[in-house]
């Protein structure tokens, strides 16, 4: 049923909770695990020049050591956990709008399932902050399993 499972990660505790669910499914189905970190170009563009934003959108992170290190740490966590379970892994770092990049990656790599964490915000917080998970749900035709961090805290 699932041959390739995508885990978008930002290195947060919420994303790490989703990793465990993804690995459980990957083990059961013998699926390959894809770890994806998206540098949010929109949020970075306020502090960067147009040339640097263009480089980010093209996936050129070599000159941005701090961003690259954070991304590699986040995808590395997923890959290390997957390898510990004997699973094949793929790590990828991209720049753009997170929900769009996740949807595009899922389509381009024939992903069968996306597993994402969610803070479960509602009301004003959700309206102000938006939701990458919700936007991803609306942007892809690939099934998305949403792991609500509130369930993990109980």
β-pair partners for 118? 148
pLDDT in tens, 35-83: 999 988 765 555 555 666 566 666 666 666 788 889 999 999 999 999 9
Q: Residue 45, SS3?
A: coil
pLDDT at 122 over 80: no
pLDDT, position 56:
61
Tokens 């499914």, located at residue: 25
pLDDT in tens, 89-114: 999 999 888 999 999 999 999 999 99
pLDDT, position 153:
47
Sheet of 144-148: strands edge to edge? 89-96, 32-40, 4-8, 113-118, 144-148
Closest CA to 57 of 35, 36, 39: 39
pLDDT at 126 over 50: no
Q: Residue 20, SS3?
A: helix
Structure tokens, 79: 């890959």
pLDDT in tens, 7-18: 999 998 888 889
What does pTM read for this prediction?
0.82
Q: Which residue segments constitute the domains of the chain, with CATH numbers given?
A: 4-153 (3.40.50.620)
- What is the Cα–Cα distance from 44 to 66, expressed in whole angstroms? 13
Tokens 């892809």, located at residue: 140
More confident residue, 115 or 57: 115
Q: Decide if 44 contacts 72 (C-beta within 8 A).
A: no
pLDDT, position 119:
64
H/E segment holding residue 26: helix 13-29
């Amino acid at each position: 049923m699932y041959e390739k499972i995508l885990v978008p990660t930002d290195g947060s505790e919420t994303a790490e909770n989703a990793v465990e669910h993804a690995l459980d499914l990957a083990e059961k189905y013998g699926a390959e695990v894809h770890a994806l970190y998206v540098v949010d170009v929109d949020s970075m563009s306020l502090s960067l020049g147009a040339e640097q934003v263009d480089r980010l959108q093209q996936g050129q992170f070599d000159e941005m050591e701090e961003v690259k290190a954070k991304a590699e740490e986040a995808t590395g966590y997923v890959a290390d956990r997957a390898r510990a379970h004997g699973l094949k892994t793929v790590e990828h770092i991209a720049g753009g709008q997170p929900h769009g990049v996740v949807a595009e990656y899922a389509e381009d790599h024939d992903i069968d399932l996306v597993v994402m964490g969610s803070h479960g915000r509602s009301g004003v917080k959700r309206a102000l902050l938006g939701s990458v998970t919700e936007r991803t749900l609306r942007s892809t035709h690939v099934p998305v399993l949403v792991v609500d961090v509130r369930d993990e805290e109980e």
